[in-house]
Amino acid sequence: MESSLTNACILKIENFEGPFDLLFHLLEKNKINIYDIPISEITDQYMDYLYAMKSLDIEIASEFLLMASTLLHIKSKMLLPSKKEKEDEEEKDPREELVARLIEYKKFKAISEIFKEKEVQWNRVYYKLPEAVEIQREDEILNLSPETLVSMYENILNKYKNRMNTGTSNKMVQILKVEKVSLRLKMKEIIKTLKNRVYVGFFEMFSLKKKSRMEVVTGFLAILELSKMKKVRLKQKKPCSEILIYKSNDSQTDDAEINENSKILNYYT
Amino acid sequence: MELNNIEPIIEALLFTSGDPLSLERIAEVIETDKKTARLIMNNLILNYNEKERGIMIREINNAYQLCTRPEYFQYISKLFEPRHKQALSQAAYETLAIVAYKQPVTRAKIEQIRGVNSDSAINRLLEKNLIKEGGRMDAPGKPIYYVTTDEFLRSFGFKSLSDLPLPAINDLKELNEEEAYE
């Protein structure tokens, strides 16, 4: 296409948000009433812009091409003689749908201008950060017996006993072995345990008193994985209480399935 | 609690809170029902406006927050150098307008209205916390619904979604009557 137009739109083209934006620009430029678009003219001008864009080596978004074909389609429809089946039936204007969409778009474009103004205004206000209020709460009296305290204390002692290295102060007894804990085995273990029972507590199977840290962590991953596979259902009455592992209805688990599912996760263990 | 004491109490609450304080919480503290609390809040807002204080009370989605009055911005900017906020793109504003009025709305619907791919605009709005995901449409592919956030109301000075302006586009009225703004 010729240069006057090419030059005219060099700066403009990239600012079009999309085909609607370009169409509006054309309508405004030609002072066209949106309800009566001279489709042939507009199509020509629209195509001119596309050619100009092409000659400027701007990649034309597919949406622009789609609109071009829509315009051409409407244009061809309007050229064809209308075939009225009934006399009183009103001919549907092929432009109607396009106009409706243009108007819808224009509406939101207008709103976006209002938003911009509002934003400028409300960008000019400042807020205050919340205060870090430090008010001493009154001590809460817990209704617990001394026996509970004793048993809690024992619990803690037991917990730490397992963690302590006892009897290693004199000499190294043995070289540490790599513990072989696999997710697959843990999953099988859980399924096996559930075969004869309705549910089992997590701590019952994997407590730090009985098992190593590695095993407990792997056990936890195993119940998550099983629950994801919908082989078990997990219940916990409140945060930090025991997790109960229930057999799910669909617990016909075969080993192959477990093998398959734990393949990826084995990486962690 | 003395009624004429309540306004200063709320003032103190709002100051301490900093963040928007919900009407429920206010009603809870001053031990009234929400309706009374709202009346008191309206009165308090009116008082602030009448006396032309430098501070005003904003209502955002049934919560209240203290902020400086926009008209004193020039003096604040004398005291502090305000950071320049990066403005949104035209595409992002258009997308935001569509989400605001059509919510909950899917990506496909936005693109249908704008006639152009809107991925980057949507991502930018999500990033700026102006829109968020609000469930999924019960349709093939379960497309995500987008809705606006309280941050949107705050940034653009709206009290609630019902406070959105009804733009007067007179010559466009007939065609979209069925889609009149709520």
pLDDT given at position B181: 42
Cβ within 8 Å, pair A111-B101: yes
For residue B48, tell me if it sits in a domain.
yes
pLDDT tier, B152 (very low <50, low <70, confident <90, very high otherwise): very high
Binding-face residues of A in 204-263 toward B, CB within 8 A: none
Rg for chain B (alpha carbons), in Å?
Answer: 20
Task: Kindly tell me if the per-residue pLDDT of B1 is higher than 60.
Answer: no
The CATH code of the domain that includes B134 is 1.10.10.10
Chain A residue with Cα closest to B90: A17
Cα–Cα distance for residue pair A125/B56, rounded to 1 Å: 10
Question: How many Å lie between the alpha carbon of B172 and the closest alpha carbon of chain A?
Answer: 7
Let me know whether B161 and B94 are in one domain: yes
Let me know whether B57 and B11 are in one domain: yes
Let me know whether B153 and B102 are in one domain: yes
In Å, how far are A25, A55, A68, A196, B94 from A62, measured between CA atoms? 19, 17, 10, 62, 20
Let me know whether B64 and B121 are in one domain: no
Let me know whether B106 and B69 are in one domain: no
pLDDT digits (tens, 9 = 90+) for A194-209: 888 888 888 888 887 7
Let me know whether B94 and B162 are in one domain: yes
The answer to whether A127 touches B66, Cβ cutoff 8 Å, is: yes
User: Domains in chain A, ordered, with CATH?
Assistant: 3-78+93-112 (no CATH), 183-268 (1.10.10.580)
For residue B56, tell me if it sits in a domain.
yes
Structure tokens at B181: 């703004």
Q: Taken in order A53, A55, A57, A62, is the CA torsion positive or negative?
A: positive
Domain around B145: 90-167
Structure tokens at B85: 């906020």
> Which residue from B91, B154, B169 is facing A17, i.e. has the nearest CB?
B91
Q: Up-side HSE of residue B19: CA atoms within 13 Å toward CB?
A: 7
Let me know whether B49 and B97 are in one domain: no
Domain end marker among B42, B76, B110: B76
For residue B110, tell me if it sits in a domain.
yes
CB-based contacts of B27: which residues, under 8 Å, 6+ apart?
B33, B34, B36, B37
Domain end marker among B16, B49, B76: B76
Let me know whether B97 and B64 are in one domain: no
pLDDT digits (tens, 9 = 90+) for A212-259: 888 888 889 998 988 888 888 888 888 888 888 888 766 565 666 666
Cβ within 8 Å, pair A115-B93: yes
Cβ within 8 Å, pair B116-A107: no
For residue B181, tell me if it sits in a domain.
no
Let me know whether B135 and B102 are in one domain: yes
Let me know whether B41 and B108 are in one domain: no
> Which residue from B18, B155, B167 is facing A119, i.e. has the nearest CB?
B155
Amino acid letter for position A75: K
| Average pLDDT score over residue span B104-120 | 90
Those residues of chain A that have pLDDT short of 70 are 1-15, 57, 82-91, 165-179, 249-269
Element (H, E) at B63: strand B63-68
pLDDT given at position B97: 93
Cβ within 8 Å, pair A63-B19: no
In eight-state DSSP terms, residue A201 is E
> Which residue from B18, B116, B156 is facing A17, i.e. has the nearest CB?
B116
In Å, how far are A129, A191, A195, A246 from A261, measured between CA atoms? 48, 14, 20, 20
> Which residue from B19, B114, B156 is facing A118, i.e. has the nearest CB?
B156
pLDDT given at position A145: 84
For residue B109, tell me if it sits in a domain.
yes
Cα–Cα distance for residue pair A206/A219, rounded to 1 Å: 7
Let me know whether B72 and B94 are in one domain: no
Q: Does B54 touch chain A (CB under 8 A)?
A: no
Structural domains of chain B, count = 2
Chain B residue with Cα closest to A134: B16
pLDDT tier, B148 (very low <50, low <70, confident <90, very high otherwise): very high
Q: Does B91 touch chain A (CB under 8 A)?
A: yes
For residue B177, tell me if it sits in a domain.
no
Binding-face residues of A in 112-151 toward B, CB within 8 A: 112-116, 118-119, 121-131, 133
Q: What is the pTM of this model?
A: 0.61
Structure tokens at A143: 């209704």
SS3 for B28?
Answer: helix
Question: How many Å lie between the alpha carbon of B20 and the closest alpha carbon of chain A?
Answer: 9
Let me know whether B112 and B161 are in one domain: yes
User: Token match 């703004």: residue?
Assistant: B181
For residue B7, tell me if it sits in a domain.
yes
Q: Does A87 touch chain B (CB under 8 A)?
A: no
CB-based contacts of B19: which residues, under 8 Å, 6+ apart?
A130, B65
